[in-house]
Amino acid sequence: MDRHHFYRDTWAEINLDKISRNVKSFKKHLPDQKIMAVVKANGYGHGAYQTAVEALASGAELLAVAILDEALALRKQGISEPILVMNRIRPEYVSLAAENEISVTVFQKEWLDEASDFLKETEKSLKIHIKLDTGMGRVGITEATELYDISLLINNSSKCEIEGVFTHFATADEWESPLFEEQRKRFIKQIDLLEKWGITPKYFHSANSAAALRKVEGPFNLVRLGISMYGLSPSAEMKEKLPFPLEEAFSLHSQLVHIKKLSPGDTVSYGATYAAKEEEWVGTLPIGYADGWQRRLSPGAEVLIRGERVPIIGRICMDQCMVRLPYKMEVGEKATLIGTQNDQTIEMDEIASLANTINYEIPCLISSRVPRVFVKKGRISENMNVILNF
Ligand code: PMH
C-alpha cells in the first residue's frame, strides 16, 4: 500500500476499472443513447472528479451534479465536457453558470424572470434543461400552460437556449409499477406538445439507472446514470434480473491497531453492551461513526480478516470499533469492511440492509475523513485526502 498522502490505517478503495467496464456495458446495452454520468455528492462518495474522468473516457459524454458548487469544482479541475446542475440554482448566479458553460435546470417562471436580469451581466448564453414533474413530486413543471410560457420565453431570448427537457421517475426500480408507466406517458405527451409549439431541444431524458437498465421506451436520447455506474443495483428487485453484471467499485478497508485477550465477564465499548463469555481475542479497528461507519451497524455487521467473517462487538465509537477474532492476531492485519477477501465478499447491499437503508446512502456517508485510493489499470493511480487537501 502506497501511503503517500495519507497517514491513517483506514481507507476506501475506488476501482476505476470497474466503473469503466460498467459504463462500457451500458454503451453496449443502449448504443443509441448518450450517457450523462451522475457524479453529484462526490460521485456518490466515489470521488467526483476521478469518476467523471473515467466515465468520460469510457463512453459517457456529459456529467450531472446536484449543485452549482459541484459543477464549478469540476470545471476548476479542468473538465470541459457539458455539465448539468439538476437542482435549482439561485437566479443571481446564472452569469457564473453561463461563463463556466454549466447548464442549469429550470422549472419556475419567476426564476426565469429574475434570471433574465442577471443574464444581462454576461455575453455568454445560458444553456437550460427544463424539468418536468411527471409524478416524482419533487421539483418540476406540472402544467402544460406553464411549460408553454417557460419554453417560449427561453426560445425567444437571445441570452438562453433550451438544451434539454427532462423528468425523473419515482418507481423505475419496481418491475410492476403503474406510476412508472404513467410518468413515461405524461412525459411523452409533453414532448409532443413542445414539438407542436416548434421547440426542438437537443436532449430528451428521463432514465435513471433503473429505467436505463430496463430500457424505457420513448423518444429519449440520453440516460442519467448514477448508482449503476458505481456497480450497485438500484433495488433488490432489479438485482435479480440485471441485463448484464455490474461491478461494485467501492471497497472499505482498515487495519487492526490493537489486540487483546478478554477474560470471561470483561466488557467492550460504551455502555458495556458486550461481555465476553469465555477467553476471547479482540481487535480494535480505527474506523467509527465519524467516518460514516454508522453506530447502528453493531451488533450485526461483520468484517473480513484473512478471508474470514468476524463480528463487530459492542458499540461503534466515533473513531474506533472492536471485532472478535477467532484467534490471536498481530497489529497491522488488514480488515475489509466492504469488499472482497479471498472467496468472501461483504457487499454494499449487506451493509445497507443492516443500516436499514439503501445502498446509495452507504458510500455517500463514508466521510471525507476517509481517504480514497484510486485503482486504475490494476494499480494505484491516485490518493485523495480531503483533510490534507490532497
Ligand atoms: N437524475 C436525477 C434527477 C437524480 O436525482 C438521480 C439520483 C439520478 C438521475 C441518478 O439516479 P440513479 O443513481 O438511480 O441512476 N438521485 C437520487 C436522489 O435524489 N436520491 O437518491 C438518488
Domain edges within the chain: 32-230, 250-384
pLDDT digits (tens, 9 = 90+) for 160-191: 999 999 999 999 999 999 999 999 999 999 99
pLDDT at 4: 63
Residue of minimum CA distance from atom 7 in ligand 1? 226
* CA 86 to ligand 1: nearest atom: 3
* Cell triple for 65: 451534479
pLDDT at 292: 98
Instruction: Give the C-alpha separation, 20 to 55, whole Å.
Output: 6
* Cell triple for 318: 466515533
Instruction: Give the C-alpha separation, 350 to 389, whole Å.
Output: 32
* Cell triple for 228: 449503476
Strands 160-167 and 126-132: parallel
Q: Considering the chain, what is the average pLDDT of its residues?
A: 97
**270 is known as an active-site residue:** yes
* Exposure letters 353-390 (e unless 16+ CB within 10 A, then b): ebbeebbbbbbbbbeebbbbbbbbeeeeebbbbeeeee
Strands 280-285 and 302-305: unpaired
pLDDT at 1 over 70: no
Site to probe by mutation for ligand 1, drawn from 224, 232, 362 as the one with most ligand atoms within 8 Å of Cβ, is: 224
Answer whether 208 contacts ligand 1 (Cβ < 6 A): yes
Instruction: Give the C-alpha separation, 25 to 202, whole Å.
Output: 24
pLDDT at 389: 84
Cis before residue 299, ω within 30 degrees of 0? yes
pLDDT digits (tens, 9 = 90+) for 9-38: 999 999 999 999 999 999 999 999 999 999
pLDDT digits (tens, 9 = 90+) for 233-268: 999 999 999 999 999 999 999 999 999 999 999 999
Instruction: Give the C-alpha separation, 222 to 13, whole Å.
Output: 30
Nearest to 186 by CA among 137, 129, 238, 151: 137
pLDDT at 121: 86
For 365, the 3-state DSSP assignment is helix
Instruction: Give the C-alpha separation, 270 to 89, whole Å.
Output: 44
- To the nearest 10 degrees (0 to 180), the angle between helices 48-57 and 68-76 is 70
Answer whether 86 contacts ligand 1 (Cβ < 6 A): yes
pLDDT band at 3 (very low <50, low <70, confident <90, very high): low
Instruction: Give the C-alpha separation, 298 to 147, whole Å.
Output: 50
Query: Residue 372 forms beta bridges with which residues?
Result: 12, 384
* CA 38 to ligand 1: nearest atom: 10
pLDDT digits (tens, 9 = 90+) for 358-385: 999 999 999 999 999 999 999 999 999 9
Q: Which helix (H) or strand (E) holds 91?
A: none
**120 is known as an active-site residue:** no
* Cell triple for 286: 480505527
pLDDT digits (tens, 9 = 90+) for 189-226: 999 999 999 999 999 999 999 999 999 999 999 999 99
Instruction: Give the C-alpha separation, 111 to 293, whole Å.
Output: 40
Which superfamily does CATH assign the domain made up of 32-230 to? Alanine racemase (3.20.20.10)
Do residues 375 and 304 touch, judged by C-beta distance below 8 A?
no
Burial class (CB in 10 A: 0-12, 13-18, 19+), 155: middle
Instruction: Give the C-alpha separation, 340 to 309, whole Å.
Output: 11
CATH for the 250-384 domain, from 3.30.1280.10, 3.20.20.70, 1.10.10.10, 2.40.37.10: 2.40.37.10
pLDDT digits (tens, 9 = 90+) for 323-360: 999 999 999 999 999 999 999 999 999 999 999 999 99
Phi, psi of 215 (to 5 degrees): 55, 70
